[in-house]
A and B are shown apart, each in its own frame.
Chain A
Amino acid sequence: MANGKDMIAEAKRSSGAHSCVECGRCVAVCPMAEMYSNFSIEMSPRGVIKKALTGNDIITDENIWYCTECNAGTDVCPQGVSCRDLIRGLREIAIEENIVEDLKHCTRCGRQFVSIPVENFVFERLREEPPNVLDVLELCPSCKREVYMLRNT
């Protein structure tokens, strides 16, 4: 577990989370606010950064799996904190430590390409489409392109 703590520290250091001034600009641009009805301060990038800095149970927190990894927060951050890099690092640790893995695997190549809450959001938005259209959501983007190519050449 000590190893895990080191990894968390490394993730915090490399993303620059220590320099967060809690201004909340990342929350203002975060697309999660539009995506989830239960969006809260704990789920927002600021909340995740704060929890990562203060507590040790951030890895088991389900809030790190809602992020779309869009990097909008980094673009506006006055301190240059990369919330995406932090969340990516935390997710990697969570997967390595076998604590929780909330990622969608491509049914064709097996690559993890999107987290389950984000996938559920897309499903929810496209729920009126016919089911065979939704089947393509099971594939990662590069597999989708390849499948489409195979069908059309």
Chain B
Amino acid sequence: MQEQTNEQNNSITLEDLRPRPEEKKTFPDHFMPRLHPGILFDPKKCTGCGTCEMVCSLRNVSKIAPASASIKVLRDEDSVKNFAILCQHCRKPLCIEACPTRAIEKGEDGIVRINKLFCVACGLCTIACPEAAPLQDPITGEINKCDLCDGDPQCVKYCPSGALILTKGKSFRWIKGLRWFVQTISFLLLVVVLIGTFCSLKAGALSLSCPAGVLQNIASSGVVVLVWVLSTFLIIGLTILAGRFFCGWICPFGFFLDLVDKITPKKIGLPSFFKSRMAKYGILIGAVGGSCAFGFQVFCPICPIGSICRSHGAAGTLNGANMGIVAALAGLEVTERRVWCRYFCPVGAILALFAKIGLIKIVIGANQCKKFSCVQCAEVCPMGIIDANKLREGISPEIPMTECITCMRCIDRCPYGAAKIRFRWQKTIPGNIEL
């Protein structure tokens, strides 16, 4: 037994010769190239001619043999639909995990390649791939997988109908900068410049009010003052136009939580009994009912948005109780992102009701979406409403606009431009969205 262990220690294993990428530490997750190259496929344009297979095999084996190609066109005679199976160059490829000889590598340029020197054509990558994109040549038994022709795909060049498009990725990075700029400006305006704002503000003829505050005001006093109701219209109009734009771009407390998220990147998760998105409606009803019963606005004194707005200035009440709420809710951020906005905020609840009848919607999963291979949108969504599991199954998830805060993080993050804003009435069946 002792001899055997010695022998094992001295022998060179595959671990020494070809360590896994994560063990090599040359390609950590945060170092991933932001733009991922890939081929986009549009099933509506594909005629099923098979030119892509032919030119691909011409490159692979120097002869026209569609079976040796790295792309496969599926033709459904009944529904007259064509579909091309090709490697998506996943962000975290399952084939790399499954390959016993570690012949598959993701290069620094984002292209997943099979190293033919090490490949023994066992076919485990085909079993592990959700799309079965590595294709086994039925004659030679070799595994063929797209390597994007090292950046100049022949299939894209020769596709007669333009169904295949090479993408190096799209960048809507400017949205991120714009969002932080708008958030900072509105934070400064609402908290520092205009004191005690958002809750109620009068600037000449223009009158602004928090809709939740107005509801509580009406409930507590029992009179409906038309000016109060009208003064909420600016924010409600914004919500109908652009969803809960206020929550994502303007709300000073939301900005504060976004900043807290920056310093608490690791999330420990919330117990499931806490996770009821209906709770915020309950709090809203409770606040209005309480105001009716007690005769004053019960929620407004502890409202974190109001607290943070009133925290600065000459009349600023930097009192401990108010700021304690802000600090406690900031502490909750270690569990999930924007916990307050997700589950509890009554202002968000009232805006959610208007966002439900709003004009826009966010759609994810156009023809460009790489579905299971990417799911960056789900990772980056602060409200956690993008269903990564749906995406991994290859289905486009529905985005509930009542929960979406229109922060557009999914849009600026998506490397393929598959997350979009569309009008509510635009036809966008999941998975097949108008370009």
Residues of A within 8 A of B (CB): 29, 31-32, 34-35, 68-72, 113-114, 118-119, 121-122, 125-126, 129-130, 132-133, 135-137, 141-142, 144-149, 151-153
CA distance A126 to B130 in the complex (A): 12
B307 at the interface (CB under 8 A from A): no
Contacts of A126 in B (CB 8 A): 94, 97-98, 128
CA distance A133 to B432 in the complex (A): 22
B67 at the interface (CB under 8 A from A): no
CA distance A130 to B391 in the complex (A): 12
B109 at the interface (CB under 8 A from A): no
CA distance A118 to B131 in the complex (A): 19
Interface size on B, residues (CB 8 A): 40
Residues of B within 8 A of A (CB): 14, 43, 72, 74, 76, 79, 81-83, 85, 94, 97-98, 100-101, 120-124, 126-132, 136, 141, 367, 371-372, 388-389, 392-395, 431-432
Q: Report whether B100 and A148 are in contact in the complex, using a CB–CB cutoff of 8 Å.
A: no
Given A35-B100, A144-B132, A145-B132; A70-B120 close (CB under 8 Å)? yes
Given A121-B100, A145-B85; A72-B43 close (CB under 8 Å)? no
Name B97's contact: one of A35, A125, A146 (CB within 8 Å). Answer: A125
Name A122's contact: one of B85, B124, B393, B432 (CB within 8 Å). Answer: B124
Contacts of B130 in A (CB 8 A): 133, 136, 144, 148
Q: Report whether A153 and B132 are in contact in the complex, using a CB–CB cutoff of 8 Å.
A: no
Q: Report whether A148 and B122 are in contact in the complex, using a CB–CB cutoff of 8 Å.
A: no
Give the residue name and chain of the A residue nearest to B395 (CB).
A151
Q: Report whether B81 and A141 are in contact in the complex, using a CB–CB cutoff of 8 Å.
A: no
Give the residue name and chain of the B residue nearest to A68 (CB).
B122
Contacts of A135 in B (CB 8 A): 393
Q: Is the interface of A mostly helix, strand, loop or mixed?
A: helix
Nearest Cβ on chain A to B378's Cβ, whole angstroms: 11
Given A132-B393, A151-B395; A145-B131 close (CB under 8 Å)? yes
Q: Report whether A68 and B124 are in contact in the complex, using a CB–CB cutoff of 8 Å.
A: yes
Given A34-B14, A68-B122, A70-B121; A153-B432 close (CB under 8 Å)? yes
27 A-B residue pairings within 8 Å (CB atoms): A29-B120, A68-B100, A68-B123, A68-B124, A70-B122, A71-B121, A114-B123, A118-B124, A122-B98, A122-B124, A122-B127, A122-B128, A126-B97, A126-B98, A129-B94, A130-B388, A137-B128, A141-B127, A142-B132, A145-B72, A148-B83, A148-B85, A148-B131, A148-B132, A149-B74, A151-B394, A153-B83
Contacts of B122 in A (CB 8 A): 31, 68-70, 72
Give the residue name and chain of the B residue nearest to A36 (CB).
B100
Given A34-B100, A68-B122; A151-B431 close (CB under 8 Å)? yes
Contacts of B43 in A (CB 8 A): 152-153
Q: Report whether A31 and B394 are in contact in the complex, using a CB–CB cutoff of 8 Å.
A: no
Give the residue name and chain of the B residue nearest to A142 (CB).
B132
Q: Report whether A149 and B76 are in contact in the complex, using a CB–CB cutoff of 8 Å.
A: yes
Given contacts A68-B124, A149-B74, 19 further A-B contacts (CB under 8 A): A29-B120, A31-B122, A68-B122, A71-B120, A114-B127, A119-B127, A121-B100, A122-B124, A122-B127, A125-B98, A137-B127, A141-B132, A144-B129, A148-B85, A151-B393, A151-B395, A151-B431, A152-B43, A152-B394
Q: Report whether A72 and B98 are in contact in the complex, using a CB–CB cutoff of 8 Å.
A: no
Q: Report whether B372 and A133 are in contact in the complex, using a CB–CB cutoff of 8 Å.
A: yes
CA distance A72 to B129 in the complex (A): 21
Which of A34, A135, A142, A146 counts the most B-chain CB atoms under 10 A from its CB? Answer: A34
CA distance A43 to B93 in the complex (A): 29
